[in-house]
Amino acid sequence: MATELDKGLTLHRAGRLEEARTVYLAILDADPGNDEALHLLGLIAYQSGKLGEAAEFIDAAIAANPQQAKYHSNRGNVAKAGGDADSAQQFYRRALQIDDDFHDARFNLGVLLHEAGDLENAAQAYSDILAKMPENFDAGNNLGLIRLQQGRLKEAERHFKTLLAANPGSTETY
């Protein structure tokens, strides 16, 4: 199965979604409970804008292996894309309960909270990422933007100067 899964992933990464989908479905024919194939089929559906199908596949992956943080995080992305911010937040938080170092889920939670206007909790999510990964440009930039929105100009300036020192060509930060 691993070689077939690798084949599907190679196709998937190359943007050949229908071919990857065919490989993942063949894996499920041989092993109906293969959580990774279910998850990847969910990602293909999500990438194709088929949110209901994406939710079904990722929910099945979670049922098959509930301790995979990435499944919960990606299910949160599907919920967010469908306009269900409350469910998205629950999925992101569940991913972080499973793996506190899963920065994708923490970043997605930060974006969700930022969009909802919960600036302090969004800032905390980004700060948590930066405490472990100070080079994370996106978290640093978003934290700087939040501090700017809050009128905390000295903090915003400090974040942006740190980013510019590490990424002098960043026009976004300028």
**By CB neighbour count within 10 A (0-12 exposed, 13-18 middle, 19+ buried), where does 19 fall?**
middle
> What count of other Cβ atoms lies within 10 Å of the Cβ of residue 1?
11
Q: pLDDT at residue 168 above 90?
A: no
Model confidence at 1, in pLDDT bands (50, 70, 90)?
Answer: low
DSSP 8-state code for residue 1: -
Condensed to tens digits (0 to 9), the pLDDT of residues 38-84 reads: 999 999 999 999 999 999 999 999 999 999 999 999 999 999 999 99
What amino acid occupies position 44?
Answer: I
Give me the pLDDT at residue 67, please. Answer: 98
Give me the pLDDT at residue 169, please. Answer: 79
Question: Using CA atoms, how far apart are residues 76 and 74, in angstroms rounded to an integer?
Answer: 5
Condensed to tens digits (0 to 9), the pLDDT of residues 133-167 reads: 988 889 999 999 999 999 999 988 888 888 888 88
| Positive or negative: CA dihedral 162, 163, 166, 172 | negative
**Threshold 0.85, pTM exceeds:** yes
Question: Please, are residues 68 and 39 in contact by the beta-carbon 8 Å criterion?
Answer: yes
Give me the pLDDT at residue 98, please. Answer: 98
Question: Please, are residues 108 and 126 in contact by the beta-carbon 8 Å criterion?
Answer: no
Question: Using CA atoms, how far apart are residues 126 and 112, in angstroms rounded to an integer?
Answer: 12
Give me the pLDDT at residue 167, please. Answer: 80
Q: pLDDT at residue 20 above 90?
A: yes
Q: pLDDT at residue 170 above 80?
A: no
